[in-house]
Amino acid sequence: MNFFIMVSLFLSAALGVFRGIDLALLTDAETGLCIVGPVWLRYGALAVAVGAAVAAGRCCKPQAGALRSRCTPSGVVALAAAVCYGEAAVLRILWMHSSVVMLIRAALEALCAFWMIGLGLSWLRKDWKTPTRSLTPAVLGSAVFYWCVLARFMENSSSWHRVAPTAMVWQLLAGLMFLSALARALYLPGTSDGRTLCAGGLAAFALCLCWELPTVLQTLVQEGGGALLTPTLLFRLGLCCVGALGALSAVRCTRTEQGA
């Protein structure tokens, strides 16, 4: 594995540990406000991890064509993401209370789940094939991240001192960038940019998995298994799956032996 990729993965994992400690001991659980240390320390840690991820992805020489082959771990993670987004869509429809906005988001989550199913099955096949016949499902399946970015700006009245809502915008943008580059690599291999794909995948790993997983675990500890029946937590779990998929894709693109 590329040395810079390893450093990026290590820093992202360290970010996850730091975030877990921060949530458990240094942040108020009810308000999300930092009670120990400056808020800029959190943003600084985020900047270092994401900056290293982007730099590692841009300085290596990835082969995006490596993703057009069988890979069981990638297939399993993609199917896990499909389950999370599919269940989130169903629960959101049941709970939307005639809300058009929630119906649109549920439809986008369902489209994302549909594309992830095709993506997972294509990676589990012995003879790899394009997940869907056209690029449309991939574009529509990624649109939920764009929609959620807009929703964050419209719904949140938070300050910089509440790190989670602000960081969520960056998480969604990282997921959108990675999935867009992934779709291009799979459907339009002649026009894909491997460095953008690798940088997006590593950034998604840092933001969507390492930063988000401690929040998911904290919610499960506080609210119990019943939290798994809420669309919000399921969406966050799907985000974690996208982050894991980003790391797998980056590693596959930069391995010296393409046997993934």
SS (H, E, C) 128-163: CCCCCCCCHHHHHHHHHHHHHHHHHHHHCCCCCCEH
- Stretch 169-183: mean pLDDT: 94
Distance of alpha carbon 249 from alpha carbon 132, whole angstroms: 19
Q: What is the mean pLDDT of residues 87-114?
A: 87
List, for residues 38-67, the tens digit of each pLDDT value: 888 999 999 999 999 999 998 888 888 889
Confidence of residue 101 (pLDDT cuts 50, 70, 90): confident
**For the segment 203-231, what is each residue's pLDDT rounded down to a tens digit?**
999 999 999 999 999 999 888 878 788 89
Indicate whether 180 pLDDT > 90: yes
pTM over 0.85: yes
Query: What is the reported pLDDT for 259?
Result: 41
Asked if pLDDT for residue 99 goes beyond 80, the answer is no
pLDDT band per the 50, 70, 90 thresholds, residue 158: low
Question: Which two three-digit tokens encode residue 40?
Answer: 């800029």
Residue of 180, 150, 147, 166 whose CA lies nearest to 246: 180
* pLDDT reading at 152 higher than 90: no
Rounded to the nearest angstrom, the gap between the alpha carbon of residue 260 and the centroid of all alpha carbons in its chain is 21
Over residues 102-136, the pLDDT tens digits come to 888 999 999 999 999 999 999 999 888 888 888 88
| Of 174, 64, 183, the residue nearest 112 (C-alpha) | 183
CA distance 135 to 133: 7
DSSP 15-45: HHHHHHHIIIIIB-TTT-BB-SS-HHHHHHH
Give the mean pLDDT of the chain.
Answer: 88
pLDDT band at 157 (very low <50, low <70, confident <90, very high): low
Provide the pLDDT confidence category of residue 164 given band limits of 50, 70 and 90: confident
pLDDT of residue 119: 94
**Per-residue model confidence (pLDDT) at position 257:** 41
Distance between CA atoms of residues 88 and 231, nearest Å: 4
Torsion of CA 70, 72, 73, 78, to 10 degrees: 80
Checking if the pLDDT of 139 tops 50, the result is yes
In angstroms, the CA 144 to CA 105 distance is 7
In DSSP terms, 199 is beta-bridged to none
